[in-house]
Structures are given as C-alpha cells and as structure tokens.
C-alpha cells in the first residue's frame, strides 16, 4: 500500500480545501472528467445519492472534477493538476480509497474498460476498512 501526501483541492468559489486523513475512517476520491462529460455527471449524482450511507460508515466522499468548474446540479471540488497523476498514477477518471493513515487501500480506473464501480461496491470496500482493527 502506498502512503499519500494530502494535496489541496479548490471549491467552485476558489476556497482551498485540504483532506484530513485522520478525520474519517476512509476518504473516497471520485476523480471525474470535466463538467462537460455526461457520464461523469451521472456518476456524480449516483455517489451523491449514496452520501448518507458513506457518512454512516465514517467515510468522506470527494467528487473531484478536472477543469474550471463543477457542473450545475453536481457537488464537488476542482482538482489541483498534480493530484490525479500523483494519486491515481493515471490521467484517467477513477476512484481511490485512502484510509485514516493516508494509505491508498483501493483503486479503480474507469479507463480499464469496466467504467466506474457502483457506489455499493465502493461502500463495501469502505465497510471492510471500517471493521478492521487499526493496530
């Protein structure tokens, strides 16, 4: 498992936000294409609808958009250009789960031909992290 250094994101209003690994059981980063990608807008809505379930398991979902804006009707942050390449080790869209110690626990690349995993599949991975002893 690879330890990640927290890197900043921007809100649509330009505010800088830094992930705090220790604050959550897991941080789920959903790296989306830009705001013009209709498939990514659908993924955004799907994960947003599951936010309550992720909250119940102590997970923070970060919807991270490439480009200059978060599309209307979607939530999320704008990425620092270095984050996707450093963390996903790819320029593709994908999902990354980071535990409370900053360790990358799970990674899915949407470009692998399978698209994005479902929110349920990602939540199951979060549950596995949540029930493990941190020692």
CB 105 within 8 A of CB 125: yes
| Per-residue model confidence (pLDDT) at position 118 | 96
What pTM was estimated for this model as a whole? 0.92
| Per-residue model confidence (pLDDT) at position 81 | 66
| Residue 107 β-bridge partners | 96
| Domain ranges within the chain, ordered by starting residue | 30-130
> Quick check: helix, strand or coil at residue 61?
strand
Token couple for 36: 């013009």
Answer whether residue 80 shows pLDDT above 80. no
Alpha-carbon distance 86 to 81, whole Å? 9
Answer whether residue 134 shows pLDDT above 70. no
| Per-residue model confidence (pLDDT) at position 133 | 65
| Per-residue model confidence (pLDDT) at position 89 | 83
Scanning the structure block, which residue is given the tokens 């994101």?
A: 9
Alpha-carbon distance 94 to 61, whole Å? 13
Alpha-carbon distance 126 to 120, whole Å? 10
Hey, what CATH topology would domain 30-130 get?
Answer: Glutaredoxin (3.40.30)
Alpha-carbon distance 133 to 37, whole Å? 39
- Digit-coded pLDDT (tens) for 24-76: 999 999 999 888 989 999 999 999 999 999 999 999 999 999 988 899 888 88
| Per-residue model confidence (pLDDT) at position 30 | 95
- Digit-coded pLDDT (tens) for 97-132: 999 999 999 999 987 677 899 999 999 999 999 998
Is the model more confident about 81 or about 95? 95
What is the C-alpha end-to-end distance of the chain, expressed in Å?
15
Is the model more confident about 84 or about 106? 106
């Amino acid at each position: 498992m690879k330890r990640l250094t927290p890197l900043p994101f921007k809100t649509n209003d330009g505010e800088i936000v830094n992930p705090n690994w220790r604050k959550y059981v897991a941080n789920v980063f959903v790296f989306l294409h830009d705001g013009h990608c209709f498939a990514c807008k659908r993924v955004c809505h799907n994960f947003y609808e599951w936010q309550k379930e992720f909250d119940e398991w102590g997970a923070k979902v970060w919807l991270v958009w490439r480009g200059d804006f978060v599309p209307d009707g979607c939530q999320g942050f704008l990425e620092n250009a270095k984050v996707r390449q450093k963390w996903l080790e790819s320029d593709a869209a994908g999902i990354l789960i980071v535990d409370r110690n900053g360790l990358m626990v799970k990674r899915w690349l949407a470009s692998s031909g399978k698209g994005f995993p479902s929110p349920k599949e990602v939540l199951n991975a979060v549950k596995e992290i949540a029930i493990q002893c941190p020692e």
